[in-house]
Amino acid sequence: MSTSQLTSCDTFVALPPATKRGFVVFGKNSDRPQGEVQEVVHFPAASHEPGSKVQCTYISVDQAESTHAVILSRPAWMWGAEMGANEHGLCAGNEAVWTRLESDDDRTERLLGMDLVRLALERAATAREAVDVITGLLASHGQGGPCSDTDASLLYHNSFLLADRAEAWVLETAGHLWAAKRITCGVANISNCLTIGVEMDLQHPELHSEAISRGLWDGSGQLNFKQVFGRDGDADGCSRLTEGRKLMERYAAAGEFDVENMLAVLRDAPSGICRAYDDPFHTAASQVSVLPPMASARPACHWFTGTPDPQRSVFKPFVFVPGARISPHIQSPAIEDDPAKAQPRFQRPVERAHRLYRLHGEALRTRPERHEQVRGLEQRCVPELDRFLEQFTAEQAGELQELFKDCVESELQFYK
């Protein structure tokens, strides 16, 4: 599969005054190769020994002395995550971008964009801090390596959308170079082409000099990041970027954008944002997060599918509370680290499908009507949970510990 013809993901954010009750609403579709399983995993906050290392997908990096609690949606073969959130209300997602700095050196195994998403969520409490985490790791380790466990040619640079309760940041990279833009109101989205022009709030310290030395810019006027570093021919990603922005602006026009509007955006098929379960590069999983204002006592709520095609999947809610648990049925089987069982690279050596993924897929093939029935769970849950969270007090935290787990197991009952 040629990387130049891949269609990949979209990430969105809506902020006040476009949103209902001053919320920030984050959403992402993760489009991945057909057959790649995506799982939802939760890791509690942790302390780590000074000087310790953490093994990412390909390389190890210095571990932070403490890491935040996170919930992640990730391809089951990798350490990093396509998208996720942490206990402080920070959300993050990445997109594949192809730039003029592509080279054979991109095959060198370094940090994947997905590793950077997880590292940012584990180490940053705000979107601005996440920019510093990612750019610091880029400077220390760089990005690179195959982004698929079956296709060694799937190589790309990354853009990121980072959102917290107050603001969002778009961070776009071209190799080790980068530019970042702050978003404080309205709607924004990223897809598979660079979006930042001259309006950079932060940038790599050598961005201008490297653009000149590489012959990409003559130094006159203002440097336009997407024009200088963007690659020609990425029409599909830019088309979805345009169509996604139109959808967001339409839903946000009344200043009442909410979780249901974001669900509708992620399920929009005519724009190409939602890719069907049988597409060779389908929407493998999706996330929507609702972040209340900083002054609100209401907790953030994060909705994940863990299954392909949001039109035929159910979003299940998770809230960070002490003792929160998620279902093992949405987590892939553990893989033994046994060299005797090693398989050639870029072949899936084991079955990674979790139970929800298997039963969801069987129902798609044999009983598609079940998905319409099970969507009723989500349709009831969204307004009921909204009312509960609006009146939430800390004493009620125990009632949310198994919220996500219960929703997964209720969904499974429909597929049996």
Q: Supply the residues annotated as catalytic.
A: 9
CA distance 121 to 98: 24
Neighbours of 277 (CB within 10 A): 20
Please give the helix or strand (H or E) that residue 162 lies within, else none: strand 157-163
**Residue 85 · residue 121 · CB < 8 Å:** yes
CA distance 128 to 269: 32
Structure tokens belonging to residue 123: 């180490």
- Of 314, 324, 318, 334, nearest to 413 by C-alpha is 314
For residue 17, say if its preceding peptide bond is cis, omega within 30 degrees of 0. Answer: yes
- HEC profile for 2-23? CHHHCCCCEEEEEECCCEHHHC
Q: How many residues does the chain have?
A: 416
Structure tokens belonging to residue 159: 């853009």
Structure tokens belonging to residue 109: 């195994």
**Residue 58 · residue 112 · CB < 8 Å:** yes
Give the β-pairing of 202-203 and 60-62: unpaired
Q: Report the sign of the C-alpha dihedral through residues 55, 59, 60, 61, in that order.
A: negative
Residue 92 phi, psi dihedral angles, 5° rounding: -150, 145
Q: Would you call 237 helix, strand, or coil by DSSP?
A: helix
CA distance 146 to 344: 14
CA distance 402 to 142: 38
From edge to edge, which strands make up the β-sheet containing 83-86? 38-43, 70-75, 83-86, 91-97, 157-163, 168-174, 177-183, 202-203
Q: Would you call 54 helix, strand, or coil by DSSP?
A: strand
Neighbours of 254 (CB within 10 A): 10
CA distance 303 to 316: 5
